[in-house]
Amino acid sequence: MSKQAIQSPDAPAAIGPYSQAIRAGNTLYLSGQIPLDPKTMQIVDGGIDAQARRVFDNLRAVARAAGASLDDIVKLSILLTDLGEFAEINDIMATYFNAPYPARATYQVAALPRGARIEVEAILALPGA
Protein backbone atom coordinates (compact mmCIF):
# COMPACT_ATOMS: atom_id res chain seq x y z
CA MET A 1 0.00 0.00 0.00
CA SER A 2 1.34 3.42 -0.90
CA LYS A 3 1.25 6.38 1.42
CA GLN A 4 0.74 10.05 0.59
CA ALA A 5 1.69 13.08 2.67
CA ILE A 6 -1.09 15.62 3.23
CA GLN A 7 -0.13 19.24 3.78
CA SER A 8 -2.17 22.37 4.53
CA PRO A 9 -0.82 25.92 4.61
CA ASP A 10 -3.64 26.67 7.09
CA ALA A 11 -2.03 24.46 9.75
CA PRO A 12 1.43 24.81 11.28
CA ALA A 13 4.33 23.40 9.31
CA ALA A 14 5.92 20.33 10.87
CA ILE A 15 8.55 21.25 13.46
CA GLY A 16 10.41 17.98 13.00
CA PRO A 17 10.84 15.07 10.60
CA TYR A 18 7.15 14.21 10.19
CA SER A 19 4.16 15.05 7.97
CA GLN A 20 1.01 16.89 9.03
CA ALA A 21 -0.85 13.77 7.95
CA ILE A 22 -0.34 10.57 5.99
CA ARG A 23 -2.98 8.96 3.82
CA ALA A 24 -2.75 5.18 3.60
CA GLY A 25 -5.59 3.74 1.57
CA ASN A 26 -8.83 5.23 2.88
CA THR A 27 -7.36 6.12 6.27
CA LEU A 28 -5.79 9.43 7.22
CA TYR A 29 -3.41 9.59 10.17
CA LEU A 30 -3.15 13.14 11.51
CA SER A 31 -0.02 14.00 13.45
CA GLY A 32 -0.39 15.54 16.87
CA GLN A 33 -1.22 19.22 16.72
CA ILE A 34 -0.20 21.66 19.41
CA PRO A 35 -1.70 25.17 19.55
CA LEU A 36 0.67 26.82 17.10
CA ASP A 37 -0.66 29.69 15.03
CA PRO A 38 0.19 28.64 11.45
CA LYS A 39 1.14 32.22 10.50
CA THR A 40 3.50 32.96 13.39
CA MET A 41 4.45 29.40 14.44
CA GLN A 42 4.03 30.55 18.05
CA ILE A 43 1.75 29.10 20.75
CA VAL A 44 -1.47 31.11 20.83
CA ASP A 45 -2.07 33.44 23.75
CA GLY A 46 -4.75 32.54 26.25
CA GLY A 47 -5.64 29.62 28.43
CA ILE A 48 -6.74 26.12 27.62
CA ASP A 49 -9.81 27.41 25.73
CA ALA A 50 -7.72 29.34 23.19
CA GLN A 51 -5.17 26.54 22.93
CA ALA A 52 -7.76 23.80 22.41
CA ARG A 53 -9.62 25.82 19.78
CA ARG A 54 -6.37 26.42 17.87
CA VAL A 55 -5.56 22.71 17.99
CA PHE A 56 -8.98 21.72 16.61
CA ASP A 57 -8.76 24.46 13.95
CA ASN A 58 -5.36 23.08 12.91
CA LEU A 59 -6.73 19.53 12.73
CA ARG A 60 -9.70 20.77 10.68
CA ALA A 61 -7.34 22.48 8.19
CA VAL A 62 -5.36 19.27 7.64
CA ALA A 63 -8.55 17.20 7.32
CA ARG A 64 -9.88 19.66 4.72
CA ALA A 65 -6.65 19.38 2.73
CA ALA A 66 -7.49 15.68 2.39
CA GLY A 67 -11.10 16.40 1.36
CA ALA A 68 -12.54 15.49 4.75
CA SER A 69 -13.89 17.11 7.90
CA LEU A 70 -13.61 16.70 11.66
CA ASP A 71 -16.76 14.57 11.54
CA ASP A 72 -14.78 11.95 9.59
CA ILE A 73 -12.46 11.43 12.57
CA VAL A 74 -12.96 8.01 14.12
CA LYS A 75 -10.32 8.17 16.89
CA LEU A 76 -8.79 11.02 18.89
CA SER A 77 -5.95 10.95 21.37
CA ILE A 78 -5.79 14.02 23.60
CA LEU A 79 -2.76 14.84 25.70
CA LEU A 80 -3.17 17.42 28.48
CA THR A 81 -0.64 18.78 30.94
CA ASP A 82 -3.49 19.22 33.44
CA LEU A 83 -6.24 16.60 33.54
CA GLY A 84 -8.23 19.10 35.63
CA GLU A 85 -9.05 20.78 32.29
CA PHE A 86 -10.81 17.64 31.04
CA ALA A 87 -14.36 19.04 31.46
CA GLU A 88 -13.47 22.22 29.58
CA ILE A 89 -12.03 20.15 26.72
CA ASN A 90 -15.31 18.21 26.55
CA ASP A 91 -17.25 21.49 26.24
CA ILE A 92 -14.95 22.75 23.50
CA MET A 93 -15.09 19.43 21.62
CA ALA A 94 -18.88 19.63 21.59
CA THR A 95 -18.61 22.80 19.49
CA TYR A 96 -16.36 21.11 16.88
CA PHE A 97 -17.84 17.62 16.53
CA ASN A 98 -21.27 16.15 15.86
CA ALA A 99 -22.64 12.81 17.03
CA PRO A 100 -21.61 10.11 16.65
CA TYR A 101 -18.47 11.45 18.32
CA PRO A 102 -15.10 9.84 17.66
CA ALA A 103 -13.65 7.25 19.99
CA ARG A 104 -11.20 8.99 22.30
CA ALA A 105 -8.49 8.55 24.87
CA THR A 106 -7.26 11.39 27.09
CA TYR A 107 -3.97 11.33 28.94
CA GLN A 108 -2.20 13.66 31.34
CA VAL A 109 1.44 14.14 30.43
CA ALA A 110 4.33 15.85 32.21
CA ALA A 111 5.09 18.25 29.35
CA LEU A 112 4.38 18.98 25.69
CA PRO A 113 6.48 20.66 22.96
CA ARG A 114 6.97 24.41 23.31
CA GLY A 115 5.13 24.53 26.61
CA ALA A 116 1.74 23.71 25.06
CA ARG A 117 -1.06 22.63 27.41
CA ILE A 118 -2.73 20.34 24.85
CA GLU A 119 -1.84 18.14 21.90
CA VAL A 120 -4.33 16.13 19.83
CA GLU A 121 -3.74 13.45 17.21
CA ALA A 122 -6.41 11.74 15.14
CA ILE A 123 -7.28 8.91 12.79
CA LEU A 124 -9.80 9.70 10.08
CA ALA A 125 -11.80 7.50 7.72
CA LEU A 126 -11.91 9.34 4.40
CA PRO A 127 -15.35 9.97 2.90
CA GLY A 128 -16.56 7.26 0.57
CA ALA A 129 -14.38 4.68 2.26
**How big is the chain, counted in residues?**
129
Task: Compute and round to an integer the Cα radius of gyration of the chain.
Answer: 14
- Domain with 26 in it: what CATH number? 3.30.1330.40
Domain count, the chain: 1
Confidence of residue 129 (pLDDT cuts 50, 70, 90): low
Q: For residue 3, give the DSSP letter.
A: E
Q: Which domain holds residue 54?
A: 3-125
Residue 128 pLDDT more than 60?
yes
Q: In this predicted structure, what is the pLDDT of residue 1? A: 72
Residues paired with residue 6 on neighbouring β-strands, in sequence order: 21
Query: 70 and 100 in contact (C-beta within 8 Å)?
Result: no
The pTM of the full predicted model, rounded to 2 decimals, is 0.95
For residue 100, say if its preceding peptide bond is cis, omega within 30 degrees of 0.
yes
